[in-house]
Amino acid sequence: MFVEPEKLSPRDRYFLMIGCIAPRPIAFVSSLSGDGVRNLAPFSYFSGVSSTPPVLSVAIAARRGKPKDTLSNIRETGEFVVNVVPEALAEPMNLASGDYPPGVDEFAVAGLTPAPSDLVSPPRVRESPIQMECRLLRVVDVGEPPNTTGLVLGEILRFHLEEGLYRDGHIDPDKLPVIGRMGRQDYCRTADRFSMKRPKIEG
């Protein structure tokens, strides 16, 4: 079978894509409004872009034709923090994903601790094992209103890593039980893994 995306509604295209593009890591993004109101929300259209310079991307779609607070905050201040979501933070992350009105502090809703950042104004999630302080490089607007998505490109200025997580130049996966997003309301764990060596090509 085949599916022609232009024949689907935006909602049906979304569900098709999140089912096909899986598993997806979760960026738990903390930001501040220009007035200093804290915001915390998860996004699973999230990936690394480059290592030199260290850049990541987070795609933030409009909701009901209006930009989400996270995107508005990032445009306004040029700063944000991406916090990694381990299994222990699954429920708080889910609580923070609610469609709350502007001015609600999702740190308080989720029962998480804001920790001061070193180089940017938005706080980090203290309970997260990895926190990445980011400076906005640019926002690429994808699509047309009211369904515009802001593709946020941010340069990582500083990594904060849980003690013992980073050894010999690598993150120890046995000490990072993160979760990933699947389709619908499903998530996955990274505890079940396997390794493969890349082929060595002579010449």
Contact indicator for 194, 25 with CB cutoff of 8 Å: no
Residue 197 in any domain: the answer is: no
Is there a domain that residue 171 lies in?
A: no
User: Where residue 142 sits, what CATH number does that domain have?
Assistant: 2.30.110.10
Q: Is residue 200 part of a domain?
A: no
Residue ranges making up the domain that contains 14 = 10-163+176-189
Count of domains for the chain: 1
Asked whether residue 2 is assigned to any structural domain, the reply reads no
Residue 198 falls inside a structural domain:
no
Residues with Cβ within 8 Å of 116's Cβ and at least 6 positions away in sequence, in order, are 123, 124
If one counts every other C-beta atom within 10 angstroms of the C-beta of residue 11, the result is: 8
Q: How many helices (H) and strands (E) does the chain have?
A: 4, 13
The 10 Å Cβ neighbour count of residue 45 is 19
- 34, part of any domain: yes
Q: What is the pLDDT along the chain (203 residues), one digit of tens a residue?
A: 999 999 999 889 989 999 999 999 999 999 999 999 999 999 999 999 999 999 999 999 998 888 999 999 999 999 999 999 999 999 999 999 999 998 899 999 999 999 999 999 999 999 999 999 999 999 999 998 888 999 999 999 999 999 999 999 999 999 999 999 999 899 999 989 899 999 999 87
Phi and psi dihedrals of 174, rounded to 5?
A: -70, -20
